[in-house]
């Protein structure tokens, strides 16, 4: 634990040396010594303490900037034209400006998660007391907070301890954000270093949020067999009142479930959720239901099924209240970060609020007390459901045909669609009475409704798509495993060796939002491909949901077919967005448990270990948000590569290695101090793939690490080459860079690969004990 | 919609916008004048453009114009199936990053390219890669010349086709190939 801001005021002190009057002693932070493990070199690192590590990474993976526009418009000097080498009035050039925007995004993400954590911890301390113990896995987990311990050096034990860590992360976010001000940082690589710092701080914030809620709310504790629950548009029993909760911060949803349970209403009222709140509701009580990822908001509300809509924070469509009013569903905002212009009724009697909502005197209310949200929402749902009678706003099929006849053929809908869906074609066919094209768009629609906003005659095109697919949507019922939370220490003991040696070919983390280029089925396809190949497949958030929404011929989802354990071939729902650090934490714990490295405040050494040894790859196929940007940044600083889908290119900066630039791929051999060429492993740190096929081949490739044994490398090469041949139709052109010794060559491909190697003049090379850090050498040779 | 508006309505780049290719001869002339052109072809080239796939037009263009091809994403096998065996395989962002670098020596080590033609990409992907090249791909004291041959106007290229119907696009592609044949 840590003690912060200790102050002593002494009126008068008389000693042998001197006499003091009005003495004040202030100590910034006291870190309690841990007898098991020494404190490392960077406790509570400042925004520059890990700069040298960042620069190592950024030298190997220099940024490639892809500006969204030519100008900067952040101050009144602007707009400044930064195109083709010009500088703005403040002196900034385009590279620095792009990195500054990336830092802004990462700060927004980090602030959001840390704010989320702060609210949650504050609420849980109020509810359960500051001394409530942290417990993410009982006896199965000794290292409760690997990320926080790695970064700060302390091991939090109670909810109160988390507050001390949040004091630090909030300070860091403030400093980082200040660097985006005009006339602060000017060098793009320094901006990028701060992006990595923001990512690390984000990981700490997320970890705190999940530690707190797992511990206080009794979520599954590192449970590989966390219960299965239901997901899909069709999971609600519409004969009952339906409460829909949207967002990320679970206390209001927990308040609803508690009220229903306490009043014997649970089971008589459906509690369903969208986005990460949904995942966390089912961790709280697996009887709750998940409708789907972020893109399911409008389609489900417009169906008229929800009787009451509750929103907390993050990734909520900001004008949902309009659709709520159209279906006659009261709207309850439950977060001070998302007040929606509603009157704050927190301190009003529940009876009055319920009455106003049920009688329709107000469209919605703001209630900043999760327990009161629980009572009001539950009572309103029960009272209003019989009156509303599921009033939806989907048009009838006839209305779609008639509306389509009014289309002006301006193409504005398609030009507004992120996925360029052929909506005009669907409208034209609908005008002739054929609705099949509209129905076919359903799978690829990301639910943004920009088509509707763009339409000059206000055709409700999103509703057209959803109405024509209503039959299919109603059949959507799948099984998803509830979020298990952390990875057990015993699981790490079992797989740590095989991962580091390369015999388990990798850990794939499917995370992020639902801005998919071709629907969520691609995520399920990627997950299953790698589960079959004995990778460990972990998932969080919307990706974890999308993976569940596909059945095989036998009607089973991935979560029913594959075990939930952190082991080869496992498919794990780790939890919500804030559960992501359990994935980073698993990599960190491998270094601690398998390699006996110290964690406490030892970030650089552990990141170096992970980068060179742990074949983990993040995939955010539908990454959309600033939070996704900061989550990725947290993985980058640990040296873990992240692949995003094609829309991820809009993060406007990639971190790319250059495989042919040999000088970039040397490491120290910790045994000898020699510098050894290890090949481009992993080749990239941040990469946007054009197609799922490209992503799948790259996942296998990026799982290679400098430390792979020959057996491990042979396994990894087998997967990469096999996928390349199947999906590209050719052998990879750069095999020679990844084969270090003949023993690396997969036995079934030996002759073919040897021929390629011979043509390229390949020679065997050493396999070092790799490190990028000179201080890790065990010899005086260097 | 005007033929020189961004296809995706909100994609407004700023002061520097592509010249419009008003006739196919502009493209064939630029290819003929170029010392080292390169054709970068994305996965949407597998889409039908009236009777043929876009990839078939790119193969014809590469053959008659003697232009090397980089096939991005997973489509290299499609070129080989068509008997075009000299295409290189590299992802869009990998080739984009290399084209940005004035010191990159090209696919064969013979030097950097002075003209890049792109086609077959999701609009927003080529939008951003062309932007990266527009701002950072220095060639001496000038910038790399890029041409977008996709069906929609790409303001971040140096030169772009306007927004075209499929019929007009097909005619444009055929005209470019036939102009090159007279090289």
Residue B82, chain A, CB below 8 Å: the answer is no
Q: How confident is the model at residue A738 (pLDDT cuts 50, 70, 90)?
A: very high
Instruction: Give the pLDDT score at A504.
Output: 95
Interface contacts A/B by beta carbons within 8 Å: 124
Q: Is the pLDDT of residue A404 over 70?
A: yes
Q: Which residues of A touch B132 (CB under 8 A)?
A: 64-67
Q: What is the pLDDT of residues B163-182, one digit of tens each?
A: 999 999 999 999 999 999 88
Flag whether B3 is in a domain: no
Flag whether B12 is in a domain: no
Is A195 within 8 Å of A686 (Cβ atoms)?
no
Q: How confident is the model at residue A6 (pLDDT cuts 50, 70, 90)?
A: low
Q: Is the pLDDT of residue A721 over 60?
A: yes
Sign for the CA dihedral angle at A293, A294, A297, A298 comes to negative
Task: Report the candidate in A471, A575, A576, A518 with the shortest Cα–Cα distance to residue A692.
Answer: A518
Which is higher by pLDDT, B5 or B113?
A: B113
Flag whether B88 is in a domain: yes
Instruction: Give the pLDDT score at A186.
Output: 95
Flag whether B5 is in a domain: no
Instruction: Give the pLDDT score at A390.
Output: 81
Instruction: Give the pLDDT score at A30.
Output: 60
Q: How confident is the model at residue B18 (pLDDT cuts 50, 70, 90)?
A: very high
Class at the top of the CATH hierarchy for domain A233-388:
alpha beta
CA distance A74 to chain B (A): 15
Instruction: Give the pLDDT score at A782.
Output: 45
Q: What is the pLDDT of residues A74-102, one digit of tens each?
A: 999 999 999 999 999 999 999 999 999 99
Contact B91 A689 (CB under 8 A): yes
Mean local confidence (pLDDT), A287-301? 96
Contact B81 A410 (CB under 8 A): no
Mean local confidence (pLDDT), A372-382? 98
Q: Is the pLDDT of residue B116 over 80?
A: yes
- State the total domains in chain B: 1
Domain boundaries, chain A: 1-31, 34-217, 233-388, 397-459, 478-775
Q: How confident is the model at residue A449 (pLDDT cuts 50, 70, 90)?
A: very high
Q: Is the pLDDT of residue A583 over 50?
A: yes
Instruction: Give the pLDDT score at A15.
Output: 72
Contact B9 A411 (CB under 8 A): no
Q: Which residue has the tokens 């009678």?
A: A389
Would the CATH topology of A34-217 be identical to that of A233-388?
no
Number of helices (H) and strands (E) in chain B: give both, helices first: 6, 11
Q: Is the pLDDT of residue A631 over 70?
A: yes
The second-level CATH assignment, the architecture, of A34-217 is Orthogonal Bundle (1.10)
Q: A36-40, A169-173, A223-227 — which is least confidently predicted?
A: A36-40
- How does the average pLDDT of chain A come out, rounded? 95
Mean local confidence (pLDDT), A654-662? 97
Mean local confidence (pLDDT), A676-696? 98
B-facing residues of A in 491-550 (CB < 8 A) are 517
What are the E-state strand segments in B6-162? 19-20, 37-41, 48-49, 52-53, 69-71, 88-89, 115-119, 138-139, 142-143, 145-148, 159-160
Is A388 within 8 Å of A357 (Cβ atoms)?
no
Residue B55's CATH number: 3.40.50.1220
Residue A730, chain B, CB below 8 Å: the answer is yes
Flag whether B121 is in a domain: yes
Q: In whole angstroms, what is the distance from residue A204 CA to residue A212 CA? A: 12
Residue B155, chain A, CB below 8 Å: the answer is no
CA distance A67 to chain B (A): 6
pTM of the model: 0.96
Residue of A nearest to B1 (CA): A410
Share of chain B above pLDDT 70, in %: 99
Instruction: Give the pLDDT score at A601.
Output: 98
Residue B79, chain A, CB below 8 Å: the answer is no
Which residues, listed in sequence order, are joined to residue A684 by a DSSP beta bridge? A656
Alpha-helical (H) ranges within B9-122 are 24-33, 54-65, 76-81, 92-100
- Measured between CB atoms, which of B14, B124, B143 is closest to A71? B14
Q: A22-31, A171-180, A262-271, A477-486 — which is least confidently predicted?
A: A22-31
Instruction: Give the pLDDT score at A8.
Output: 63
A-facing residues of B in 87-106 (CB < 8 A) are 88-89, 91-94, 96-98, 100
Q: How confident is the model at residue A502 (pLDDT cuts 50, 70, 90)?
A: confident
Q: Which residues of A touch B100 (CB under 8 A)?
A: 64
Q: Of 3.20.20.450, 3.40.50.300, 3.90.1150.10, 3.40.50.2030, which CATH number belongs to A478-775?
A: 3.40.50.2030
User: Domain containing B99: what range?
Assistant: 19-181
Q: What is the pLDDT of residues B37-88, one digit of tens each?
A: 999 999 999 988 878 999 999 999 999 999 999 999 999 999 999 999 999 9
Three-state secondary structure call for residue A292: strand
Q: What angle do CA A427, A430, A431 make, to 5 degrees?
A: 90
Distance (Å) of CA B121 to CA A132, A568, B92, B165 = 54, 36, 9, 17
Q: Is the pLDDT of residue B183 over 70?
A: no
Contact A416 B135 (CB under 8 A): no
Mean local confidence (pLDDT), A514-533? 97
Instruction: Give the pLDDT score at B2.
Output: 75
Mean local confidence (pLDDT), A724-749? 97
């Amino acid at each position: 634990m840590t003690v912060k801001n200790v102050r002593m005021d002494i009126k008068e002190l008389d000693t042998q040396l001197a006499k003091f009057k009005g003495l004040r002693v202030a100590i910034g932070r006291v870190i309690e010594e841990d007898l098991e493990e020494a404190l490392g070199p960077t406790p509570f690192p400042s925004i520059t303490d890990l700069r040298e590590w960042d620069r190592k990474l950024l030298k190997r993976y220099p940024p490639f900037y892809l500006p969204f526009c030519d100008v900067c418009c952040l101050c009144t000097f602007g707009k400044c034209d930064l195109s083709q080498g010009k500088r703005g009035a403040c002196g900034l050039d385009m590279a620095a400006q792009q990195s500054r925007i990336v830092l802004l995004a990462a700060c927004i993400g980090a602030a959001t998660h840390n704010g989320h954590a702060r609210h949650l911890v504050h609420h849980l301390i109020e509810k359960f007391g500051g001394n409530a113990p942290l417990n993410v896995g009982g006896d199965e987990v000794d290292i409760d907070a690997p990320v926080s311990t790695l970064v700060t050096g302390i091991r939090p034990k109670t909810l109160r301890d988390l507050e001390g860590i949040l004091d630090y992360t909030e300070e860091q976010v403030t400093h980082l954000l200040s660097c985006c001000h005009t006339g602060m940082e000017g060098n793009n690589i320094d901006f990028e270093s701060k992006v990595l710092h923001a990512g690390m701080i984000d990981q700490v914030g997320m970890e705190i949020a999940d530690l707190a809620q797992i511990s206080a709310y009794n979520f599954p504790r590192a449970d590989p067999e966390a219960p299965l629950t239901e997901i899909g548009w069709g999971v609600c029993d519409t004969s009952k009142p339906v409460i829909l909760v949207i967002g990320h911060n679970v206390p209001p949803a927990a308040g609803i479930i508690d009220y229903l349970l306490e009043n014997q209403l649970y089971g008589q009222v459906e509690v369903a959720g969208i986005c990460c709140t949904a995942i966390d509701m089912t961790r709280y009580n697996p009887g709750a239901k998940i409708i789907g990822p972020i893109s399911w908001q409008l389609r489900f509300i417009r169906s008229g099924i929800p009787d009451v809509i509750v929103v907390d924070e993050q990734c909520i469509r900001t004008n949902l209240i309009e659709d709520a009013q159209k279906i006659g569903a009261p709207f309850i905002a439950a977060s001070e970060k998302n007040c929606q212009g509603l009157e704050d009724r927190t301190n009003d009697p529940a009876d009055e609020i319920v009455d106003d909502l049920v009688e329709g005197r107000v469209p919605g209310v703001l209630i900043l007390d999760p327990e009161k949200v629980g009572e009001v929402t539950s009572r309103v749902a029960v009272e209003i459901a019989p009156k509303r009678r599921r009033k939806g706003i989907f048009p009838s099929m006839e209305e779609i045909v008639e509306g389509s006849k009014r289309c002006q053929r301006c193409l504005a809908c398609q030009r507004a669609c992120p996925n360029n869906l052929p909506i005009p074609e669907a409208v034209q066919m609908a005008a002739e009475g054929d609705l099949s094209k509209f129905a076919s768009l359903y799978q690829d629609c990301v639910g943004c409704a920009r088509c509707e906003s763009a339409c000059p005659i206000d055709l409700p095109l999103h509703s057209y798509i959803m109405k024509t697919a209503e039959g299919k949507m109603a059949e959507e019922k799948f099984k998803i495993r509830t979020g298990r939370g952390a990875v057990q220490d015993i699981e790490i003991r079992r797989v740590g060796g095989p991962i580091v040696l390369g015999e388990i070919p990798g850990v794939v983390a499917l995370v992020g939002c639902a801005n998919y280029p071709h629907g969520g089925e691609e995520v399920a396809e990627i997950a299953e491909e790698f589960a079959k190949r004995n990778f460990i497949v972990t998932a969080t958030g919307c990706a974890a949901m999308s993976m569940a929404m596909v059945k095989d011929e036998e009607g089973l989802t991935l979560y029913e077919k594959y075990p939930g354990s952190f082991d080869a071939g496992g498919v794990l729902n780790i939890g919500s967005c804030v559960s992501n650090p359990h994935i980073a934490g698993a990599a960190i714990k491998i270094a601690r448990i398998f390699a006996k490295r110290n964690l406490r405040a030892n970030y650089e050494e552990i990141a170096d270990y992970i980068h060179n040894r742990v074949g983990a790859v993040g995939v955010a196929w539908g990454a959309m948000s600033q939070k996704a940007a900061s989550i990725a940044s947290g993985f980058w600083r640990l040296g873990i590569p992240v692949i995003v889908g094609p829309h991820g290119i809009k993060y406007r900066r990639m971190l790319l290695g250059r495989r042919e630039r040999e000088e970039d791929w040397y490491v120290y051999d910790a045994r000898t101090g020699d510098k050894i060429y290890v090949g481009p492993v992993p080749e990239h740190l941040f990469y946007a793939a054009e197609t799922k096929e490209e992503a799948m081949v790259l996942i296998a490739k990026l799982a290679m690490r400098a430390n792979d044994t020959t057996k491990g490398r042979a396994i990894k090469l087998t997967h990469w080459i096999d996928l390349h041949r199947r999906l590209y139709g050719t052998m990879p052109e750069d095999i020679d860079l990844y084969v270090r010794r003949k023993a690396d060559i997969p036995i079934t491909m030996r002759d073919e690969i040897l021929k390629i190697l011979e043509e390229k003049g390949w020679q065997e090379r050493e396999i070092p004990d790799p490190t990028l850090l000179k201080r890790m050498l065990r010899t005086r040779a260097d | 919609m005007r033929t020189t508006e961004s296809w995706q309505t909100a994609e407004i780049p700023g002061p520097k916008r592509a010249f419009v290719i008003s006739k196919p001869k502009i493209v064939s002339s630029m290819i003929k004048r170029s010392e080292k052109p390169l054709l970068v072809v994305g996965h949407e080239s597998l889409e039908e453009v009236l009777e043929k796939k876009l990839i078939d037009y790119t193969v014809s263009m590469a053959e008659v114009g003697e232009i090397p091809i980089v096939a991005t994403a997973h489509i290299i096998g499609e070129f080989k199936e068509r008997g075009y065996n000299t295409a290189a395989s590299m992802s869009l962002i990998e080739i984009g990053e290399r084209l940005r670098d004035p010191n990159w020596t090209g696919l064969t080590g013979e030097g950097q390219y002075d003209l890049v033609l792109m086609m077959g990409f999701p609009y927003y992907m080529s939008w951003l890669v062309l932007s990266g090249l527009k701002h950072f791909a220095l060639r001496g004291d000038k910038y790399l010349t890029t041409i977008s041959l996709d069906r929609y106007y790409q303001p971040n290229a140096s030169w772009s086709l306007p927004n075209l119907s499929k019929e007009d696009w097909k005619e444009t592609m055929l005209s470019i190939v036939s102009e090159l044949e007279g090289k």
